[in-house]
């Protein structure tokens, strides 16, 4: 993975660089366990100066769109990807302000859903809720 990331970062044409990183991101999200490779792509585009801010923003936007579209169905893995991405972006938060808003809200939604499910199951209201939601 590191060799592929370095190779993509060294591409001179920004359009080709963006397409290459985008394809690599999509491939990493399609894996059975996507967290590590997805985080490697995020780290590479955010921290490698050769990538450039425009390409990095687009890749982070692609990640957000992929997560919103359900590319990672497991909520725990999706939550880990969101948290790790926010951690990588934190030192450069001003540069990625627009992209960070969506993952934060997605993480909040995931956490709220988990909390609601836990409450309903442990309060005895789960059966009623599940029946109404056709679960």
pTM (2 d.p.)? 0.69
pLDDT (tens digit, 0 to 9) for every residue of the chain, 135 residues total? 889 999 999 999 999 999 999 999 999 999 999 999 999 999 999 999 999 888 998 998 899 888 888 899 998 898 889 888 888 887 776 566 665 555 555 555 655 555 555 555 555 554 554 555 544
Instruction: Report the C-alpha gap between 37 and 17 in whole angstroms.
Output: 18
* Per-residue model confidence (pLDDT) at position 48: 92
Helices 53-68 and 14-29 cross at an angle (nearest 10°) of 30
3-state per-residue secondary structure call for the chain: CHHHHHHHHCCCCHHHHHHHHHHHHHHHHCCCCCHHHHHHHHHHHHHCCCCCHHHHHHHHHHHHHHHHCCCCCCHHHHHHHHHHHHHHHHHHCCCCHHHHHHHHHHHHHHHHHHHHHHHHHHCCCHHHHHHHHCC
* Per-residue model confidence (pLDDT) at position 134: 47
């Amino acid at each position: 993975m590191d060799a592929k990331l370095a190779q993509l970062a060294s591409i001179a044409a920004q359009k080709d660089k963006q397409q290459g990183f985008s394809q690599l991101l999509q491939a990493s999200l399609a894996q059975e366990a996507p967290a590590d490779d997805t985080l490697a792509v995020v780290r590479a585009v955010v921290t490698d100066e050769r990538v450039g801010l425009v390409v990095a923003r687009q890749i982070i936007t692609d990640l957000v769109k992929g997560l919103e579209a359900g590319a990672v169905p497991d909520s725990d893995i999706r939550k880990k990807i969101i948290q790790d991405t926010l951690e990588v972006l934190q030192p450069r938060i001003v540069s990625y302000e627009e992209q960070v808003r969506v993952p934060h809200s997605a993480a909040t939604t995931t956490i709220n859903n988990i909390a609601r499910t836990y409450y309903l199951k442990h309060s005895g209201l789960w059966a009623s809720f599940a029946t109404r939601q056709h679960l």
